[in-house]
Structure 1
Amino acid sequence: MTISINTPALLFPAITLLMLAYTNRFLALATLIRNLHSKWKLAPEEHHTIKEQIKNLRRRLMLIKQMQAAGITSFFFCVLCMLFFYLEYEVLAYSIFGLSLVFLLLSLVLSLNEIYISTKALELELKDMLED
């Protein structure tokens, strides 16, 4: 298989769009946390329920941070790969490109895990509403 300096460049739009999606998830989670904080202050009697949500939000926040870190690392290795192609270190460029793909894959796996956790939390909310 032959790749050139253009091959890693093809990942640029995908990685940047992925990072945008991760940032949107982070902002939505930040809004949720701020709302929960307000609820925490206003309704001390609901602290037990809120504590369960806090555990879930902390886990999701950690996953989003790891997703972003893996995505940024993938982007970094893409640029580094292009630099090595430019400097005509092709063997090193191939290895670095492989690392870039591994980190992109890791980012996607973490994203899938975060989606699973967030949908599970929504299912619990729906269950609570049906029980009332």
Structure 2
Amino acid sequence: MDITTPALLFPAISLLLLAYTNRFLTLAQVIRQLASDEGGDMALARAQIPGLKRRISLIRSMQTFAVISFLLCALAMLAIFLVHSTLGHWLFGLSIITLAVSLVLSLVEVVISTQALSVVVTDLERRIGKHG
């Protein structure tokens, strides 16, 4: 393995961090809207709070593991550059593992997000049923 192998992960991890940041910003917007909607359905908001808290925690963990992966990848490149290929291999392997953990956490967050949407759709169906 040469220095270009870990370098291939750099753009992928950067894009992943950007996607995670977008998820965080969208979640923050949803939370702010729920908090400012004084006349809204408090039962619906109450039903969403546990999922929102869990998603905040997951996104923080996703970002943490992605940053650690990025750092390990950079260190692997440095080790390979300094002709410590065994250390570089190990660091690159750890980088891939932490990236995989980040991706699994991302999947869990997506599942929770879709469950939250199901709660909103159910509430919408209930409200339409009342008025329709």
TM score, norm. by length of structure 1: 0.91
Tell me the equivalent position of 2:55. 60
d(CA) in 2 for partners of 1:19 and 1:64?
Answer: 10
How many residues matched?
127
- 1:130 maps to 125
- 1:26-45 alignment to 2 at 5 Å? 26-39=24-37, 42-43=38-39
RMSD: 1.2
Q: Which residue is equivalent to 2:99? A: 104
Distance 1:33 1:50 in 2: 9
AA aligned to 2:27 is: L
Q: Which residue of 2 aligns with 1:7?
A: 5
1:30-50 CA deviation, whole Å, 9 max, x = no partner? 1011111102xx23x843432
Q: Tell me, which stretches of 5 or more residues in structure 2 are unaligned?
A: 128-132
Instruction: Find the aligned partners of 2:125 and 2:42 in 1 and give their Cα distance.
Output: 21
Q: Which residue of 1 aligns with 2:19?
A: 21
